[in-house]
A and B are shown apart, each in its own frame.
Chain A
Amino acid sequence: EDQVTQSPEALRLQEGESSSLNCSYTVSGLRGLFWYRQDPGKGPEFLFTLYSAGEEKEKERLKATLTKKESFLHITAPKPEDSATYLCAGPLPGGSYIPTFGRGTSLIVHP
């Protein structure tokens, strides 16, 4: 059973069409929820860390939010350069500080 589940698996948007990506987790006692961006042929790059329910962080057109059971990555007025795979990572159960990743959402923004 996946501890971190991302949806949708793939998302196609028109430039300027805002949307949200979802990351839900089953681990209680969250000790950090991460969002990464991965471009084709490259390693993941850090975007945001969220530790507490209600926390929000923003960077350019991206805003990450966190509730007790899920996180959203909101993309406002996306541009083609926002096309990438977005990965979410949370902790393994049992008090581990080792992260486990969701399978990612592949985002394509058409001009």
Chain B
Amino acid sequence: DAGITQSPRYKITETGRQVTLMCHQTWSHSYMFWYRQDLGHGLRLIYYSAAADITDKGEVPDGYVVSRSKTENFPLTLESATRSQTSVYFCASSKPGLAGLETQYFGPGTRLLVL
């Protein structure tokens, strides 16, 4: 099916472990984004990518690593998970904005619990 998918949908891990969240989109959108959503904070941008091999930090990048070797995939890695990284993580994609912002399409989210 076309669209944007995330895996796993739910993940429980322990403090200090490495965790990778996967994101895949089938539209060939050049832009991809990772957000975390927490009560009281709304959606906060972690990292984004304008194209394959081009990534940039968002508002809350500390403790996270991203890569983008292929246009359709944008994995997010927590190198050493901390309890403060317990959150719901959303991936999104969009076309490039020629005259302004473009619509973002969001995945279903990954719920991560760090014990």
Residues in chain A within 8 A of chain B (CB atoms) = 30-32, 34, 36, 41-46, 49, 51, 87, 89-91, 97-104
Contact = CB atoms under 8 A, between A and B. Distances in A.
Contacts of A43: 90, 92, 106-109
B105 A100 contact: no
B103 A49 contact: yes
Provide the main secondary structure of the chain B interface.
loop
A43 B33 CA distance: 13
Interface of B: 33, 35, 40-45, 48, 58-59, 90, 92, 96-97, 99-109
Contact of A97 (B58, B100, B107, B108): B100
Given A46-B105, A104-B42, 16 more contacts: A31-B101, A32-B97, A34-B101, A34-B104, A36-B106, A41-B109, A43-B90, A43-B92, A43-B108, A49-B101, A87-B42, A97-B96, A97-B102, A98-B48, A101-B44, A103-B41
A43 B104 CA distance: 11
Contacts of A51: 99-100
A31 B40 contact: no
A97 B101 contact: yes
Nearest to B97: A97
